[in-house]
A = this chain, B = another copy of it.
Amino acid sequence: MQKLLIPSYSTPERNRQVLLVERPTAIPEARHFAIDEEALKSPAEGEFLVRNIYLSVDPAQRGWAADVNNYSPPVPIGGVMRALAVGVVVESRHPDFVAGDFVYGWLGWQDYAVVGPQQVMSQIKNPAAPLSAYAGVLGLNGVTAYLGLNKLGRPVTGDTVLVSTAAGSVGSVVGQLARHSGCHTIGLTGTDAKVEQCRNHFGYDIGINYKTAPVAEQLAQHAPQGINVFFDNVGGPILDTGLRAMAVAGRVVQCGTASVAAWNPPPQGLRNEREVLTRRLVWSGFVMFDHMADFPAAVQELEAMIVQGKLHYDEDIEQGIEHAPGSISALYAGENAGKKLIYLG
């Protein structure tokens, strides 16, 4: 277990913030953000002040920054970029949160956040894993994998499970959980190095580089009876190919659409309704925020697996808030080698 060292310091008077200054029409890039600072605020009654330690970078931030077609209202122009983070309470006017408590939640891309309990997704009472893990494998990413797979994918022993962005922060957990459930696991990823990582680090039975291999042929070869569960994070042509390799009564979990560069104007693709019909698929959309009641139990399960050495995860940590603005586009370019975090040490 990692000993966490919180540097001793006196709280500064300024709070640096990453603001959304231009509305992206596709993937948010550095130019859509600006770093500004404001005077540090004090918590009102019922609130507390959190110093952020690890800022999370997530594919979903693209949707939060867009102004169409999403499950939550867009970040306003001029507002702090919506983000999850792990931080430590430094001043509190709420009885359940005391200085020194670690929390994970909606803290935003900034040095400090004044929040209430409703912004907290988990209170990290006795961290059994390194603190950074609570922003990834034990945060939104890992819990999304756990609940999306188990509640919508419903794998059973012997199933063949296909995962896109198989080495990513969600996909890598899906693959490992499916393997632990006795499934045959196939991972799709975009470099040979990540194929190796899928095979040797995350325990996939099969890794396929979708950029160089003929995916449909590979799926026919490695899933001759068809795919029972397809956990898809990318959409687009990979989704189309995967759908055409599904077994009858297969479950498709749509967890992201990362491969589609823009939704306005609406992009075209293969018509998939005949696949849904003839294969009798169940194709469902998974958004974590529908399942928050299950969050704590999922964290507990995943934490136990990490402590037992049964769940591997990688992190790609950069230090300094100045790395935040360009981090989403870097994520979409596949440049990261694990869960992308910004450390505000």
| Of listed A70, A71, A271, A286, residue having the most chain B CB within 10 A | A271
Q: Does A212 contact B (CB under 8 A)?
A: no
With a cutoff of 8 Å between Cβ atoms, the chain B residues found around residue A280 in the complex are 71, 284-287, 290
Mark A267-290 against chain B: 1 for CB-CB distance below 8 A, else 0.
111111110111111111111001
B268 touches A235 (CB 8 A): no
Q: Does A256 contact B (CB under 8 A)?
A: yes
CA distance A257 to B272 in the complex (A): 10
B276 touches A285 (CB 8 A): yes
With a cutoff of 8 Å between Cβ atoms, the chain B residues found around residue A249 in the complex are 290
Which chain B residue shows the least CB distance to A63?
B278
With a cutoff of 8 Å between Cβ atoms, the chain B residues found around residue A71 in the complex are 248, 278, 280
Q: Does A141 contact B (CB under 8 A)?
A: no
Q: Does A260 contact B (CB under 8 A)?
A: yes
* Interface residues contributed by chain A, number (CB under 8 Å): 38
CA distance A345 to B278 in the complex (A): 35
Q: Does A133 contact B (CB under 8 A)?
A: no
| Of listed A257, A260, A273, A276, residue having the most chain B CB within 10 A | A273
Among the listed B255, B268, B279, B282, which residue makes an inter-chain contact with A270, where contact means beta carbons less than 8 Å apart?
B268
With a cutoff of 8 Å between Cβ atoms, the chain B residues found around residue A331 in the complex are none
Give the distance to chain B from A151, nearest Cβ to Cβ, in Å. 12
11 contacts between A and B (CB under 8 A): A235-B271, A235-B277, A239-B273, A249-B290, A254-B276, A254-B277, A266-B270, A269-B271, A280-B285, A283-B283, A283-B284
Extra A-B contacts (16), CB below 8 Å, given A268-B269, A268-B271: A71-B248, A235-B274, A235-B277, A236-B273, A249-B290, A257-B274, A266-B270, A268-B270, A276-B283, A276-B284, A276-B285, A277-B285, A279-B285, A280-B285, A282-B283, A283-B283
